[in-house]
């Protein structure tokens, strides 16, 4: 009497397609990172440009920044978070050495504000 057995070879094709398809999100993320550019005018304005077909530009005035923080992660990369006095928050992803860059941006912005005559009120308890 003939026996009907399972054929596990079907998993080979499925494994190949799974391996190929798993790279699609990686390709999209690589395009997003590749098309994100930052410029700093060494005074007050940090500019973020994103987009492949339509470019979107976002300018951050560091004179209005209440807080500039950076965080580095091996899984998500570096992110700089800028919070303005009005409460608006900017998250700037894909930045190498984000913590050091945040400190540098903070120091440059504070120095340029002092040179321009802006006074920062600090309450000491």
**Residue 10 covered by a domain:** no
Encoded tokens for 58: 């976002």
Decide: helix, strand or coil at residue 57.
strand
| Rounded distance between C-alpha atoms, residue 102 and residue 16, angstroms | 43
- DSSP annotation of 124: -
**Residue 31 covered by a domain:** no
What pLDDT, on the 0 to 100 scale, is given for residue 122? 54
- Determine which helix (DSSP H) or strand (DSSP E) holds 40, and give its type and residue range: strand 37-40
**Residue 83 covered by a domain:** yes
| Rounded distance between C-alpha atoms, residue 92 and residue 50, angstroms | 11
What pLDDT, on the 0 to 100 scale, is given for residue 42? 81
How many domains does the chain divide into? 1
Q: Give per-10-residue mean pLDDT for the chain (125 aa).
A: 64 79 85 90 88 90 88 88 91 91 88 74 56
**Residue 15 covered by a domain:** no
**Residue 20 covered by a domain:** no
The range of the structural domain enclosing residue 52 comes to: 37-116
pTM: 0.76
**Residue 57 covered by a domain:** yes
**Residue 22 covered by a domain:** no
What pLDDT, on the 0 to 100 scale, is given for residue 91? 94
**Residue 32 covered by a domain:** no
- How many Cβ atoms from other residues are within 10 Å of residue 68's Cβ? 23
């Amino acid at each position: 009497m003939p026996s009907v057995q399972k054929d596990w070879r079907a998993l080979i094709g499925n494994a190949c397609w799974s391996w190929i398809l798993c790279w699609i999100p990686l390709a999209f993320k690589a395009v997003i990172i590749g098309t994100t550019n930052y410029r700093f005018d060494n005074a007050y304005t940090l500019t973020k440009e994103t987009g492949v077909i339509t470019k979107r530009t976002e300018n951050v005035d560091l004179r209005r920044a209440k807080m500039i923080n950076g965080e580095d992660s091996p899984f998500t990369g570096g992110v700089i978070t800028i919070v303005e006095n009005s409460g608006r928050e900017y998250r700037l992803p894909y930045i190498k050495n984000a913590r050091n860059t945040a400190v540098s941006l903070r120091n440059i912005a504070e120095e340029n504000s002092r040179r321009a005559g802006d006074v920062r009120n600090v309450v000491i308890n």
